[in-house]
Chains A and B, each alone.
Chain A
């Protein structure tokens, strides 16, 4: 079920009413309703993969209890290994099996020993990278004694399958989300209203910004050899806003929906395109994944401590893994590597934590230094997205070569893309709203502080109208991150 579908528009109010009006007296019943509705939500795509979630859940549930009980270090390690093997094994099989096979075949062919392998026609279960990482965080935290294992199977199932964030995150930590399933939930008007606002902004990002950008980015990336440098740059720019609108839009809807049910999820995006360096960008982009890698891999590896070479190694490991997490394609790995290359100079100069506060704090506009720092970071990001979007390495390199040609300085012919000018104006407006709201949790969070109700409501109506007019309402376009 897609957030931007009519199905979800019916599903959400029904679950909401059952949750708050019928089952409001019993926490257990509410959790059971969450499990049932989450399985229905997921099964709407493909019910066959429900077994996979259930299996992953049961393994970590049992492992968690055993980890908690056991004092034997070796046994505990073995249990953790079991949990990690099952989760990484599932991920590896469904996501990376054919990739490894193809690469083995290529490697042997290169060595003059061609081998015949049989790739499998494997369907990638939606959201597998998200829920496996979430359950692994549980096992690791229980292993580290940061969290007590739960014996409440229903609550644990609800934690793993919680429908707002099941298929594309935020990847929640058990330490944050799981305890919320044991707290008595009270309906909070302010939180619910804020959740609605966040859902509205998420829908705007997805349907107005991302889906429209996708239309042009897809045409330009698919037919890149037909276009000059400036049009290719425009295509990369459209993809830059597509991926942000799409993924952060999903996160906004997920967080907003959770708030309607009394849950607090972590912020997943914090206006990343207003970052002044790459380190800041990675503190603001897909925060739940970045911090997952930081807490469970980077810091155990030594983090930014140790010699320069160790630091560089750790950064590369994290970024390459992050790239690989996105998909079984060398383009993602190169994308990760490129970001590591961007990041290392900042780290080596010890400037990776210099921009912890939002840009232009307490000011209306950035100063020229901040502005050019943001522009520079944004340009680097746009270039790296080309690898992320490209079908393969040849595609990415040809695309980049096409940009850096003499045609980069031509005037773009907008007449071949009717509507592109309107979209650029919409993007400019969107950036202006995000800039204004950059101190909040999401772009329009600040609307609640406008004293006049008429103004607030007029703004909501305006956003709804924009979604209706400019949004792609005739077909539901899947979120990009579903494929990961």
Chain B
């Protein structure tokens, strides 16, 4: 019995060591970029993958791009609280696209990574804080998202059949046939607009963001990113209307979703700009010369 327990403890020790080895590997390609933020800016952009193509181009306009792929409002709320604690933030641009209140987004988020920006006060109890900030964050074996990241990495690198010429190859959007564009776009729309009602958690989180900005005297501006014509056509009137929540609170919404309707060359897929598109869009958005459509 003694031997059994001794061996079990040593084996657990090995698993802990393997865990940390994996953590440092994952940190390199999944966490590190997410955890990097420049605290010297007066303005920040908070968005999901729609904001990431803007990259560092926003910095020419004194706006730090704090977007993260798949960021939900819960993640953005955590980031906002972090900014309030650590910077002199004056202005925040936040995505209010049609899908951002989707229940799908509630499940596809970055809560595992955005825990980095939290403090004990951000949680309802201390146990939850320890679980999210430390256990889930550092224990690879307990974090399903880390496993998924490794799995996707292996699948993409070793067994990605799209690299062998399948329909969903990563060729740029404009090179796809109209039929292919429609197929992929239908999938996306179905994914985000499967449910008739917006997510209550997302809506509540956006409301808290609005209140927090009011309380701290931070200018909050809603932003609707450019979309392709295929996406807009298939989307029809589908929207969870995050922009309406902003308007109700008399907050500005910059609506640029129709800006590049006929310019597929600026997109990497149906609703994401590519790097070139991101650079161009950053100029339009922040340079005073251009006048984006603004609704209040």
Contact = CB atoms under 8 A, between A and B. Distances in A.
Contact of B159 (A20, A189, A421): A421
Interface stretch (A269-277, A380-388, A443-451, A461-469): A461-469
A415 interface: yes
A200 to B, nearest CB: 11
Contacts of A464: 15, 141
B171 interface: no
A414 B161 contact: yes
B4 A187 contact: yes
B162 interface: yes
B168 interface: yes
A113 interface: no
A193 B1 CA distance: 11
Interface residues of B, number: 25
Contacts of A473: 144, 147
Interface string A413-426: 11110110110010
B40 interface: no
A421 B161 contact: yes
Interface string A269-308: 0000000000000000000000000000000000000000
A469 B11 contact: no
Contacts of A422: 151, 154-155, 158-159
B97 to A, nearest CB: 25
Contacts of B166: 413-415
A465 B15 CA distance: 10
B296 interface: no
Contacts, number: 58
B294 interface: no
A234 interface: no
Contact of A20 (B1, B141, B151, B158): B1
A176 interface: no
B14 A461 contact: yes
A192 B6 CA distance: 13
Interface range on chain A (Cβ under 8 Å from partner): 20 to 34
Contact of B155 (A419, A460, A471): A419
A469 B147 contact: yes
Interface in B139-197: 140-141, 144, 147, 150-151, 154-155, 158-162, 166-168
Interface string B2-13: 011001000100
A457 interface: yes
Nearest to B145: A474
A469 B151 contact: yes
Contact of B11 (A187, A457, A474): A457
B161 A457 contact: no
A415 B14 contact: no
Contacts of B167: 413, 415-416
B4 A193 contact: yes
B123 to A, nearest CB: 20
Contacts of B140: 468
Contacts of B151: 422, 469-470
Contacts of B141: 464, 468
B39 interface: no
A226 B3 CA distance: 57
Contacts of A419: 155, 159
B18 interface: yes
A415 B184 CA distance: 12
7 contacts: A187-B1, A187-B4, A192-B4, A457-B11, A457-B14, A460-B11, A468-B140
Given A193-B4, A473-B147, 10 more contacts: A187-B1, A189-B1, A414-B166, A418-B161, A421-B159, A421-B161, A422-B151, A468-B141, A469-B147, A469-B154
Interface of B: 1, 3-4, 7, 11, 14-15, 18, 22, 140-141, 144, 147, 150-151, 154-155, 158-162, 166-168
